[in-house]
Amino acid sequence: MNSRKCALEALCDITDRGAYANLRVKQLHGILPEREAKMAAALVYHTLDHLLTIDYYLSHFVQGSQKPAIRGILRLGVCELLFLSTPPHAAVSESVSLTREVGKPALSGFVNAVLRNIDRSRNALPPLPDEPVLRLSVQYSYPEWIVADWLSVYGESQTEALLSHPESPMELRPQYPCTVRELQAALLFPSTVNDWDENSIRLSGGFDIASFPPFLEGKCTVMGESAMLACRALGDLAGKRVLDACAAPGGKSAYLSSLAKGDIQLTCFELHPHRKELLDKTLLRLHVAADTQERDAAVFDPAFESTFDAVLVDAPCSGLGLLSDKPDIRYSKSDADVAALVKIQRSILETCARYVKPEGILLYATCTISRRENEQQIEWFLSNHTEFQLERLPLAIENEGMLQLLPHVHHTDGFFLARMRRCR
């Protein structure tokens, strides 16, 4: 099976059948030689990254709807023509061959004509819409509801900076007792220590982490700096009892242990069995001792009431802070999903707040950029729980207890953090 047909099948699985891009693309490496798998993966991700832009241009050259396979072939072809360095004749001819290969030879002339028309018009493509929401949606391939939400908060220039932020680099951190210096020495290419957490290393390129000896030995793991800051925001945890309420896949739980140099009583909740298994594997690889439980963080258990010095609620969220790295999230979420998530987050906050000791810390975190899920959530919580007070995050970044990390400002993923102390 050639790489373009594999790319087409993966793309259609993601756009039409709800497959997760990272998992579906990973399968390409099991059915194609490594070089072809990388080419197919790049084609899928570039197409997803520009999907709404591609569809906007296609709508000016194609009348009516197409079957999923033909729509996918056209999308891949336009991506190669406009956003990759594929020679035009190769992009068109390979798309025509792919049309025949998927059993649609009668439509090969149609595909040929559409792509040739777009290639001839590449210097005179339809102009972008004038209205800001529509323009930014088409130009950067983000759904209108996300663009409108960010525009209302950040304005046009800041929203455009958010939308145009490039994909995040690969980031690693050491697991205690391994150090940053030891980890950097083991790498065979340049790396840079990040700005806000001295344990966070930014790599100059990607590599096969699964075969990296320090990774196999549990001395390091892949983790973004913003996720690490969610752990640091809890402060000194040495000798304390700590709950990670939504723990899978386990990176934050392991970093909490690492920051405390193993001197921590760690409890981890995870709702879903398959994710609980992933959590256990992560902690085992990184040599972390913890009490892991398959448990719904939104369901109160009186056995845990007022027992933890610190509780981390890394709440399920819309994930809008990770969109540059996971473009399929843009199209799988909706405004209605955010409304549903807000209810879940409130339920988890309400429950986990009861697990915090007097003078203990409750840390709320999400990997999204959404006032409804972030600032408004904390405002609601504090208005209903006067026993908690907002407290400055112990981080080098200026804050007043709540912090929205923005990719184009802080050079991290889009995380939100809020630290609250329970009054005596």
Distance (Å, whole) CA 185 – CA 204 = 14
Rounded to an integer, the average pLDDT of 35-51 is 95
Considering the chain, what percentage of its residues have pLDDT values greater than 70? 100
* pLDDT score of 64: 83
Full-model pTM: 0.93
Please identify, among 89, 120, 151, the residue that sits at the C-terminal boundary of a domain: 120
**Nearest Cα to Cα of residue 264 among 217, 306, 312:** 312
pLDDT digits 0-9 by tens, 288-323: 999 999 999 999 999 999 999 999 999 999 999 998
| 302 and 416 in a common domain | yes
Rounded to an integer, the average pLDDT of 197-206 is 92
| 25 and 153 in a common domain | no
Residue 1 has pLDDT above 80, yes or no: no
Please identify, among 63, 85, 120, the residue that sits at the C-terminal boundary of a domain: 120
Query: Would 328 be classed as within a structural domain?
Result: yes
Query: Would 217 be classed as within a structural domain?
Result: no
| 418 and 273 in a common domain | yes
Rounded to an integer, the average pLDDT of 365-369 is 97
Rounded to an integer, the average pLDDT of 210-239 is 97
Tokens (6 digits) for 107: 């439509």
**Residue 367 catalytic?**
yes
The dihedral region occupied by 411, where left means phi > 0, alpha psi between -120 and 50, and beta the remainder, is left
| 375 and 248 in a common domain | yes
Rounded to an integer, the average pLDDT of 70-93 is 96
| 344 and 238 in a common domain | yes
| 323 and 232 in a common domain | yes
The dihedral region occupied by 250, where left means phi > 0, alpha psi between -120 and 50, and beta the remainder, is left
- The CATH number given to whatever domain includes residue 238 is 3.40.50.150
Distance (Å, whole) CA 405 – CA 416 = 6
| 100 and 58 in a common domain | yes
Tokens (6 digits) for 321: 């802070």
Asked if residue 87 has a cis previous peptide bond (ω within 30° of 0), the answer is: no
Query: Would 248 be classed as within a structural domain?
Result: yes
Question: Taking all residues of the chain, what is their mean pLDDT, rounded to a whole number?
Answer: 95
| 268 and 395 in a common domain | yes
Reported as a pLDDT band with limits 50, 70 and 90, residue 188 is confident
Query: Would 179 be classed as within a structural domain?
Result: no
| 246 and 158 in a common domain | no
| 142 and 58 in a common domain | no
Structural domain total, the chain: 3
Residues spanned by the domain of 148: 132-163
**Nearest Cα to Cα of residue 151 among 135, 167, 171, 170:** 135
Reported as a pLDDT band with limits 50, 70 and 90, residue 350 is very high
Query: Would 176 be classed as within a structural domain?
Result: no
Lowest mean pLDDT among 45-59, 316-330, 368-382: 316-330
Rounded to an integer, the average pLDDT of 136-150 is 97
- The CATH number given to whatever domain includes residue 31 is 1.10.940.10
Rounded to an integer, the average pLDDT of 194-207 is 92
Distance (Å, whole) CA 68 – CA 89 = 24
Residue 206 has pLDDT above 80, yes or no: no
Token pair 């999230």 in the structure block, residue:
329
| 249 and 395 in a common domain | yes
The one catalytic residue among 79, 268, 352, 367: 367
Residue 96 has pLDDT above 90, yes or no: yes
Query: Would 70 be classed as within a structural domain?
Result: yes
Query: Would 281 be classed as within a structural domain?
Result: yes
Using the CB atoms, write b or e for 319-351: b if 16+ within 10 Å.
Answer: bbbbbbbbbbbbbbbeeeebeebbeebbbbbeb
Token pair 């909490």 in the structure block, residue:
256
* pLDDT score of 204: 85
* pLDDT score of 168: 82
Lowest mean pLDDT among 27-31, 214-218, 300-304, 370-374: 27-31
| 142 and 13 in a common domain | no
Residue 301 CB coordination number (10 Å): 14
Query: Would 194 be classed as within a structural domain?
Result: no
Reported as a pLDDT band with limits 50, 70 and 90, residue 208 is confident
